Amino acid sequence: MSNAMELLRSVKDSTDDTEFYTPMPEGYEPGRTKYVAVFGTVMSGLGKGIFSSSLAKLLKDKGLKVAPIKLEGYLNIDSGTLNPFRHGEVFVLDDGMETDMDLGTYERMLDQDLTGANFATSGQIFNSVLEKERAGSYLGRDVQMIPHVTGEVKLRLREVAMESDSDVVFIEVGGTVGDIENAFYIEALRELSYEEGEGSVLFVALTYVLSPPTLGEQKSKAAQLGIKRLMEFGIHPHLIACRAEDRVTDKVRQKISIYTNVPVNRVFSMHDLPSIYLLPQIMREEGLDSEVVQMLNLGGLINSAEDARNSQAWEKFSSKIDTHTHEVTIGVTGKYTALRDSYASIIKSLEHAEVANDAKVNIEWIDTTDINDDNVADILAKVDGIIVPGGFGVRGTGGKIACIKYARENKMPYLGICLGFQMAVIEYARNVCGLTDADSTEIDPDTKTPVISVLPEQKKIEGLGGNMRLGGQDVMIAPDTMASEMFGGATNIRERFRHRYEVDPEYIERLEQAGLIFSGKHGEHQIMQILELPRDVHPYFVAAQFHPELTSRPLRPQPMFKGLVKAAIETK
C-alpha cells in the first residue's frame, strides 16, 4: 500500500486537521482493482473508445472482469439533448441513461450491458459536489477543484470498480489534453495513480501521426508535442497508440519512444483498417495485451484456455469481414445522413448482419427532405432494401412516408425503427385503410386522425410525465409471426426504447382488419411495439417502436437487421 493511502485510510472527512480528502466507497481496498486510463492528444475523434474497448476485450478474453467508464467534459447531465450533427448518435443504455456513442462501442466490443455508472459528465460531477456542499458534507471547508472535485471523480471510478467487482477498470477521458474542461479529470487520474500505488494504474496516450501529402512522409512532431502536454500534467504514459492513415513506420515509432521514455514495443501503430473489429487481433499479434498484463501484475488471474477459445471465436468472425458471397445495397433514409456518426449503431448492426449472411452490405445515404411520390422510384432504384431510422421533428417525414409506400407496394425489404415504425403506421392508415388525413400529433398537433399520438393514460401508466420512454422494456411476441421466427420462437424479448409517441389504441383494430400485424406488444397495456406484413403479402416489411440497433453485437447480430439483409439478398 502506498504512503498516501495509509494516510487516507485514517481520514474520512475534510477537516482542518489534514489536507487529505478522498471519499471512498464502503469496503473499497486500494490497489486491488487495476485501472487503465486513455487520453487523447492532437485532436478528438481519433478512436479512444475503439482502442480502449479493444484492449478491454483482450483482457476480458483472458478471463478478467473488466468495466469501462467514459468521462465527458461537457456540462450536460447526459447526452440526451445533444444534436446528432454536433456529437453523433445518442446511445441509450438498458437503465435509460442517454450517453455518448462510445458506450455503444464498449457494449458491442465487450458484449456487456452497461449502466449509468459507466458514464460521467462534468455536469454530473459538479452537481454532486454542490449537493454535498449544500448538505454540509464538507464540514465548513471552502469547496475547491482540488481536493473536492477531483475527489468526486476518484469516488466515481472506485464505485464502478466496486459495483462491477472488476479486475480492471478502463477510463476514457473525452476530448483532448489541453481542453480546459478536462483538466480536473487529468489531475484526478494523476492523484489516483499516486493513491492506488505502483503497478495499479496504467496510462495510455492516443495521438495522431500526420502524413502531409506534399511531404510524402509521416511526421511525428505534433504527436510529440501533444504527449509533452500530457506529461506536463504529471501523466507519463506507459503505452502510446499512434493513429494514422497508414501503418506507422519504425522510424516514427522510435522517435516517439525516445521523446517519451516509452519502450518502442509499447508504441503501437493504430492505422486505418477496413473494420474496427480487426483491431483486437492486431493488438494481440503485437503483444499489447501481454504488455498490459505484465505491467499491471495480472498474470495470476489469466485463464489461458478461455483466452484461446475467445480468440478463436473472434478470429472466425473477423476473418469473414472482407470475404463474402453476396452483395446488397441498403438505403438509410433520414435527415442526419450528412454525418455518419448520427447512425453509428445502425452501421455496426449492418456490419454484424453482413457477416452473419456472408454478404457485403453497401450503405446508400438518402436525405428524405426533398423526396416525394414523383421522384421516389428514381431515388430508390439503386437499393435492395431500406431502413427508415429514428429521429425527431417534422423535417423529412413526408419523404420517409413516400419511401415506405414505395417499399410496401414494390415488395422492397423494409425495416422501420422508432420514427420509422410510426411513419409505417401513418402510411398504411392513409393508403390502405383509407384514412387519408392520418398523421402524428408530433407532425400535426391539430390532426383529426391521430393514429400516432401521446396518450395521457399511457404517460400515467409508464410514469413518463412529459419525458420520453427510455431504456429497456419487455416486448411480448405473438406466436406464428415473422417476429417470432426471427427471435427463435421467443415469446418475450427485451429491447431499448427512446420515444414519446405511440400508436393510438383507437385505430389499432382498423389497422389490423386491413392486414397490418402487430406482432410485438407491451405485456400489460395497449402499446404496439413491432409491426409486420404477412410473408405472402410482402417478403420483409417489419418495423419496431424500439431501437434494435442498440442491442446488436458482433457475435450475436440483432435478428431484425439480420433478417433485412437476408431478405435483400433473396429479393435482389
Cell numbers representing residue 189 in the block: 487520474
Helical (H) or strand (E) element with 255: helix 250-260
Give CA separation, 197 vs 2, 9, 76, 161, 186, in Å.
Answer: 5, 14, 33, 16, 17
With left for phi above 0 and alpha for psi between -120 and 50, is residue 374 left, alpha or beta?
A: alpha
Residues constituting the chain: 572
Quick check: is 549 catalytic? yes
**Residues 418, 442, 502, 538: which is the catalytic one?**
418
Q: Vertex 425, ends 423 and 428: CA angle to 5°?
A: 105
Cell numbers representing residue 20 in the block: 487529505
Cell numbers 506507422 correspond to what residue? 248
CA distance 239 to 52: 12
CA distance 52 to 47: 8
Residues 6+ positions from 387 with CB-CB distance below 8 Å: 330, 331, 332, 333, 346, 414, 415, 416, 417, 420, 564
Cell numbers representing residue 131 in the block: 449537493
Nearest 5°: phi and psi at 429? -65, -40
Nearest 5°: phi and psi at 260? -115, -5
Read off the amino acid at residue 205.
Answer: A
CA distance 266 to 268: 6
The alpha carbon of residue 242 and the mean position of all alpha carbons in its chain are separated, in whole angstroms, by: 23
How would you write 102-159 as a 3-class SS string?
HHHHHHHHHCCCCCHHHEEEHHHHHHHHHHHHHCCCCCCCCCCHHHHHHHHHHHHHHH
The alpha carbon of residue 174 and the mean position of all alpha carbons in its chain are separated, in whole angstroms, by: 14
The one-character DSSP state at 301 is G
Cell numbers representing residue 224 in the block: 510529440
Quick check: is 547 catalytic? yes
Give CA separation, 337 vs 334, 389, 471, 487, in Å.
Answer: 6, 10, 25, 29
Residues 6+ positions from 303 with CB-CB distance below 8 Å: 62, 63
Give me the active site residues, please: 418, 547, 549
